[in-house]
Structures are given as C-alpha cells and as structure tokens.
C-alpha cells in the first residue's frame, strides 16, 4: 500500500495560482499528474464540532420501579457503551431518581468512560463536549428522551488533523490547530515501472490529499477552480480552460 501524498495549504496564492492546468498535466502546489490518471475524487468541507444535550425524564416514581438506559459515546476514538440504572424506593420523587442517575453518570465520567456533564433537577440532562460531541441513548426503561442522538462531529478541524498526523509531504507544513479545512481526496493511477509480461508498465493507486485552509485569503478562488476542474468545466478564476486538462 502506498503512502498518501498530502498537500497542506495554509496560505493560498491569488487567482488560484496554486493550481495550473496545461498540456494534459495538472499541477497543484508541488505535485503534478496527468489528468487522464485521475479516476475519482471526494470533497469534504469542514464541520465545526459541537456538543449537545439529551434530556431524560422519568416516569412517575413508586417503590420498585426501575429506571434504566444505555448511553453510547466515542471517547478518544474509542466507543464507550455504558448502562445506567436505578430502582426507586418508597418516597422517591422525580428529583430523587434523577439525582441518582446523575450520580452514576458522574462516576463513569470520573473514570474516563464518558465525557459528558450531567445536570438538571426533575430531569437528567446529559451534555456532551466539543471534544467528544456525539452521544446517543437507547434501551430506555421508564424514561423518555428528548432525542435519541445529539451532538455534531467535527470534520477537517485543524486540531484533529494534527492529531491524525497530517503533514505536507513536500515542505512539512502542518495544519493550524485553530483552522478548518476543505479537503479533496484524489485517487490517481500512476506508473510504478516496468514489469509483468512483455515489460509493460503497470499502474499503482496513489491518494493525493489536499487540505485548504478555509480561513485563508484567496481560499474561495482556489476552491472554485478545483471544483471546476473536477466537474469538467472551465476555470472560475485562473486563465485555463478544461480543454487544457485534456490536451496531450
């Protein structure tokens, strides 16, 4: 398996100058490839991670009534599945039930099995963090939930890309922790040399990953031209026509 090629652009040149298309060759920053060798592309725009809350409301308490649910959350990229339950005793109120549920949740938080904040009085409000934003609940027994799932997972946030080890393959540039990126994953088939019968040239798949800082000056111009190239249309900003990509 070939190592991915990464290009990280924290600074973007005016008039989409980081992209050049001529004579059937596409050049992006420090890497060039024949257009005809591009066979698939995927674009992802950044999404900001956001925590959210799920509110659990208990049914009317009486002695012996069981309250139970399962909460799921990815914490540090590891799925955590936690079952929380409490059985009411005589004299319990909704507040009593929720106090006990919140105490149990807090115990799981303290050992790192959950990354949430419990709150509320007559309800149990479970709020996730921006670090581990998505939570879901199920298996509800004598509890109703405001939602089955809550929170927004971040996409292409600089801090996450850094933690994943993304680095520019040519100049060593790193994503900026406070930035968000639009990414393009381009799949290329490029020659790896002679081999096989009759010394024919065989191709190998190479992934070219582009990361464009959405907050950089000139971002929109470069994004528009890359989108146009991948859509098979003429440039939005730079002075090239799509026929330049097809030229031999």
Question: Got the DSSP string for the chain?
Answer: -PPPEEEEESS--GGGTTEEEETTEEEETTEEEEGGGEEEEEEE--B--B--EEEEEEPPP-TT-EEEEEEEEEETTEEEEEEEEEE--TT--HHHHHHHHHHHHHHHHHTTS--EEEE-SSSEEEEE-SSS--EEEEEEESEEES-SEE-B--BSBHHHHHHTT---TTT-----TT-BEEEEEEEEEEEEEE-SGGG-EEEEEEEEEEEEETTSTTHHHHHHHHHHHHHT---SSSS--HHHHH--
* Summary mean pLDDT of the chain: 93
Residue 196 has pLDDT above 70, yes or no: no
Mean pLDDT within 196-218:
81
Mean pLDDT within 83-111:
97
Residue 43 has pLDDT above 90, yes or no: yes
The band of 190, judged by pLDDT with boundaries at 50, 70 and 90, is: confident
Q: What is the pLDDT of residue 50?
A: 97
Q: What is the pLDDT of residue 170?
A: 94
Percent residues over pLDDT 90 in the chain: 88
Q: What is the pLDDT of residue 197?
A: 44
* Owner of token pair 């146009």: 228
Q: What is the pLDDT of residue 29?
A: 93
Residue 160 has pLDDT above 70, yes or no: yes
The band of 198, judged by pLDDT with boundaries at 50, 70 and 90, is: very low
Q: What is the pLDDT of residue 200?
A: 47
Which residue has better confidence, 247 or 152? 152
Q: Is the dihedral of CA 104, 107, 113, 118 positive or negative?
A: positive
Q: Enter the tokens of residue 161.
A: 């890309």
Mean pLDDT within 201-229:
93
Mean pLDDT within 184-188:
96
Q: What is the pLDDT of residue 3?
A: 83
Q: Which helix (H) or strand (E) holds 38?
A: strand 38-44
Q: What is the pLDDT of residue 247?
A: 86
């Amino acid at each position: 398996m070939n190592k991915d090629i990464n290009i990280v652009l924290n600074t973007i040149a005016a008039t989409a100058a980081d992209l050049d298309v001529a004579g059937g060759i596409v050049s992006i920053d420090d890497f060039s490839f024949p257009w005809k060798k591009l066979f698939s592309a995927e674009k992802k725009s950044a999404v900001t991670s956001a925590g959210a809350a799920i509110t659990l409301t208990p049914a009317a308490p009486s002695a012996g009534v069981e309250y139970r649910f399962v909460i799921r959350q990815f914490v540090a990229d590891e799925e955590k599945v936690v079952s929380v339950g409490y059985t009411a005793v005589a004299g319990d109120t909704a507040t009593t039930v929720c106090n006990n549920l919140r105490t149990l949740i807090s115990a799981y938080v303290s050992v790192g099995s959950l990354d949430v904040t419990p709150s509320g009085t007559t309800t149990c409000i479970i709020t996730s963090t921006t670090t581990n934003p998505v939570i879901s609940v199920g298996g509800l027994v004598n509890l109703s939930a405001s939602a089955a799932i809550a929170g927004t997972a971040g996409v292409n946030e600089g801090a996450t890309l850094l933690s994943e080890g993304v680095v520019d393959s040519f100049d060593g540039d790193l994503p900026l922790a406070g930035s968000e990126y639009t990414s393009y994953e381009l799949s290329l088939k490029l020659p790896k040399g002679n081999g096989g019968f009759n010394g024919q040239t065989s191709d190998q798949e190479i992934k070219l990953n582009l990361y464009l800082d959405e907050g950089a000056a000139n971002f929109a111009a470069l994004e528009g031209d890359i989108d146009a190239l991948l859509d098979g249309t003429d440039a939005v900003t730079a002075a090239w026509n799509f026929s330049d990509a097809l030229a031999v």
